[in-house]
Chains A and B, each alone.
Chain A
Amino acid sequence: MMKYLPLILHNISRNKIRSLLTSLSIAMSLFLVVTLSSLLSSQDEITERTKVHNRVAVLHEAGLAGRLPIAYVDRIRKIPGVACASPMSWFGGNYREEKTQFPQFGADARTIFDVYEEYQIPAEQLADWQRDKTGCVVGSLIARNKGWKIGDKIPLKGNIYPVDLELTVRGIYDGDSTVDKEWLLFHFEYMDEALKEHYERIAGNAGIIMLRVESQQKVPTVMQTIESAFASSDAPVKPMTEKQFAQSFTEMMGNVRGFIRYTSIAVVVALLCVAANTMAMSLRERTREIALLKAIGFSQSSVLGMFLSESVLIGLLGGVVGALGGKLLFAAVDLSKILPGLGMFYIPWTTALYGLALAAGIGLFSGLAPAWRAANLSVLEGLRKVV
């Protein structure tokens, strides 16, 4: 087949506009399919990669809205197999006049960077934060987007809790692509003392407790021990692995997976029609040529192969632009500037390659019927045909 390559390439480039338009329409649609799929697959891949840290989230049995007593943190720390634990109390405050919220957690400054061991913060900044009761640390991404530097004041207006916080940036953490760099972490005690003054009833809520288990093997036993330790208390708990915890958020969004699938199927079917149409058009114009090829001795299968390779190549071209181009685009553009919370979004290699394969598949199937017709063309009729 390789020896026909120049001929195939020549055929593709003889109607440049047509090949270009077909490839571009495949590229546009694949960009969309790959981006939509990545909304889920990038998250799956990140949670898969963070599995090595053996983290477990402990929630109230009644979900995120339940009150988890802060005293549970110390009790969980004593459970064999638990390396370290910290409360992560969602504050949900508003910064200045901004309507949208970003993640703010009340945490234990001594242990939180031990639980999230891959989150990197300079030792002296961490020490500064630990010393300052009203200090906080922020992720590098949110710091850049909001223009925060060390020493800046960050006022947060309470929404879930009726208290306002006046925080000072003491450190900025960073890390690889699995690290969420859009958090703000402050001292749990700072929020809790403010609450105790006026609202004793809602004080002392750890929200969730995040812990790290010593080793992979101990994760199931530790989860079981925790669940049974609090089973008969006022606040029974539900431990989840970090992965299950992340998935529970996707679940909340409803049937996202289903909708992405339906849209993608519609896109692929539309593309098949469009690409098949173009292939049919371009082969119809070449009916006489095809007949000539066969007349000089080209076999049915080589004619079939030649035209199928042509349509696959056009599809692949679209795939390279759409899927791989999309990957590069999202690698270069910082989405968190436009849509806070999507700072970690990227197109995983597996999804990009799947898009590429899809493009080749669209090329193949769209060429099938026209190429079949070309291969089975009767030489006589073909030669006689006026197009």
Chain B
Amino acid sequence: MVPFKYNLRSLRARKVGSLMTIFGVGMVVWASIFAFGLSAGLDKTLEIAAGPLDVIVMRKGSTSEAVSAVSDEVARDIIALPGIATNRDGRPLAATELVIFGYLPRRGQTQKVNVAVRGVLPVSRELRDGMQIVEGRDFRPGVREAIVSRAMSERFQGLGLGEEFEVRGGMFRVVGLFEAGGGAVESEIWTDQSVLAQLTNRTGAMSCVQFRAASKTDQERLINRIKADEQIDLNAMTEEQYYAEQAQQSMLIKIVGGMVAFFLTIGAMFAVANTMYGAIASRAREIGTLRALGFGRFSILLAFLLESLILCTLGAVLGCLGALALGDIRTGTMNAGTFTEVVFAFNFGPSVLLSGALLAVAMGLIGGLMPAIRAVRMRVVNALREV
């Protein structure tokens, strides 16, 4: 085997060239991680949102809460079904919820976008694990007060603590900010259900029913029960399913992200190949000497592949560090499943960084292969004669 030190020293001998290649690979890895982080962040937000035992009941055919309707009588029947988990007071963990579209401008913009406004019952809070008010207080029932997530309050006009915003002609005051571990709830405005129902003239029917099953088997049984019941005539699904379908709707982001990574990686492969061809051309005599010393073809092939891998791995490290240096970027886009704004943070988690690093490894291996093959195919005599 050619000693590892040989590779390191060779790279150091061509300092500027090596650094430029490392930097180039680093930028490509960074851009790919950026694109992956965006779609992974959106997926993660929707994934966190789902409680494993939670079930959502909507009108048949509806794919989002805002366009669904469930009549109050049917909702009462569902909430009374056996198998629903109960809280400490013995009340079922089930609630009707009313979701409507608000229409608000982001900070610094005039164009308004759709946001979800959720009218809730006291028990709704217990259905969201980890949701807590971090600033201000909870809204009081019966008055036009609302709580919003910290992320939403930073992103939208009129949603700061103490500020007022308009929904369907009614002015609401923001009295509290909450956090919920980054889930989809953090893209919503919460207010009292009866207040919202009155404002929007909704009587006799809310949007959906959400409940927590006591166990996995209860969950399955309840879903089948509700779906089969012709009296109820509604569709039930686990929250996991509900959010997975929404994540699926955001295909465009995934496709664009994949395209960025794909074309940049191929481009970078050419660049790495170029650097390695250059390295090999200028070291023809060295390679001849190595061969003359008795190093086999295979170990020389490995040595050059290793060298291009080192280049790319250093680039990958640079790219990952660059992505981590961006820190916690929050952004928002339209959730194609619900047609409302979803706020989320870029996800630069281990799996995203790893996929960026894997791209770099692919660049190193594929980009380094052809030059390395050329190196081993040199004839010793010719190589030694080279100037």
Contacts and interface: CB of A to CB of B under 8 A. Distances in A.
A64 interface: yes
Given A22-B270, A65-B103, A251-B111, A267 B264 contact: yes
B21 interface: yes
B112 A63 contact: yes
Contact of A28 (B30, B67, B266): B266
Contacts of A76: none
A2 interface: no
What is the interface of chain A mostly: helix, strand, loop, or mixed?
A: helix
Contacts of A313: none
Nearest to A39: B256
Nearest to B326: A262
B139 interface: no
A203 to B, nearest CB: 14
A193 to B, nearest CB: 19
B274 A254 contact: no
B306 interface: no
A387 B14 CA distance: 13
Interface in B336-381: 339, 341
A270 B27 contact: yes
Could you tell me the dominant secondary structure of chain B's interface residues? helix
Interface of A: 17-18, 21-22, 24-29, 31-32, 35-36, 39, 61-66, 92, 94, 99-100, 157-160, 162, 247-248, 251-256, 259, 262-263, 266-267, 269-271, 273-274, 276-278, 280-281, 285, 339, 386-387
Contacts, number: 160
10 contacts: A28-B263, A64-B339, A66-B103, A159-B62, A247-B111, A266-B34, A271-B267, A273-B24, A339-B252, A386-B387
Nearest to B248: A99
Nearest to A339: B255
Nearest to B104: A63
Question: Which interface residue of B16, B35, B101, B278 has the most chain A CB atoms within 10 A?
Answer: B278
Given A21-B270, A157-B61, A158-B61, A64 B114 contact: yes
Given A99-B248, A259-B34, 4 more contacts: A253-B333, A266-B28, A274-B268, A277-B275
A270 B277 contact: no
B277 A263 contact: no
B38 interface: yes
A26 B266 CA distance: 10
B112 to A, nearest CB: 6
Contact of A21 (B31, B168, B263, B271): B271
A329 to B, nearest CB: 12
Contacts of A39: 256
Nearest to A386: B387
Q: B interface, how many residues as a size bin?
A: 35 or more
Contacts of A94: 61
Interface of B: 16-17, 20-21, 23-28, 30-31, 34-35, 38, 59-63, 66-67, 69, 100-101, 103, 109, 111-114, 168, 245, 248-249, 251-252, 255-256, 259-260, 263-264, 266-271, 273-275, 277-278, 281-282, 331-334, 339, 341, 387
Nearest to B204: A201
Contact of B270 (A25, A62, A266): A25
Nearest to B335: A252
B274 to A, nearest CB: 4
Contact of B274 (A25, A29, A248, A387): A25
A18 B21 CA distance: 14
Contact of B34 (A26, A263, A271, A277): A263
A36 B24 contact: no
A281 B17 contact: yes
